[in-house]
Amino acid sequence: MSSSELNAVEHVFLTAGNLGLPGAPILNLALFYNPDDGTVSGEALITQSITPPHGRVVIRPVSGPVHGLGLGNATRVFSLSGEYVVSATPPAIGSYLAKFEATFVTDNNWSGHGSFSYDQQKVNNVPIKKRG
C-alpha cells in the first residue's frame, strides 16, 4: 500500500452552533472524509444545557455526500443524516426513532455555516469550524 493510499481519508473534528449563547445546542462531529468518493461518515454529539436526559444526544452513524463548489470562499457543501433512539420521559413509557439531518457550506479549512435538525429541534444558520 502506498503512502498516498494511507492519506486518502481525512479524520475531521468539527463544532457547530452558537458557542457564546448559553443553553444553545452545540453539534460536535467526528468524521472521516473520503475525497475520492466524496463522502463523510462518522458520529455526531449534540450537547445542550437543559434538564436531563435530553442534554446529550449521540447519533451514530451519520453519513452523507460532499460536493465541491466554486463560490468564493465556499468550496464545499456537505450533508449528513442519521437516526437515534429517544426514550420517552416518564410517566410515558417507550421509545421512538428520531431523525438527524445537517447541511453545511464550508471553505477548504471546514469553516463556514449551516443548519442541523434533530427530533423536533431545528437550529438554523450557525457557524461551523474545525477543532483541534
Q: What is each CA distance from 82 to 6, 21, 50, in whole angstroms?
A: 27, 26, 22
pLDDT in tens, 42-77: 999 999 987 666 689 999 999 999 999 887 889 999
pTM of the model: 0.89
| Segments making up each domain of the chain, as ranges | 3-130
Confidence of residue 88 (pLDDT cuts 50, 70, 90): confident
- Tell whether the model's pLDDT for residue 5 goes beyond 60: no
Q: Domain 3-130, what architecture?
A: Beta Barrel (2.40)
List, as one string, the DSSP characters of 82-97: EEEEEEPPTTS--EEE
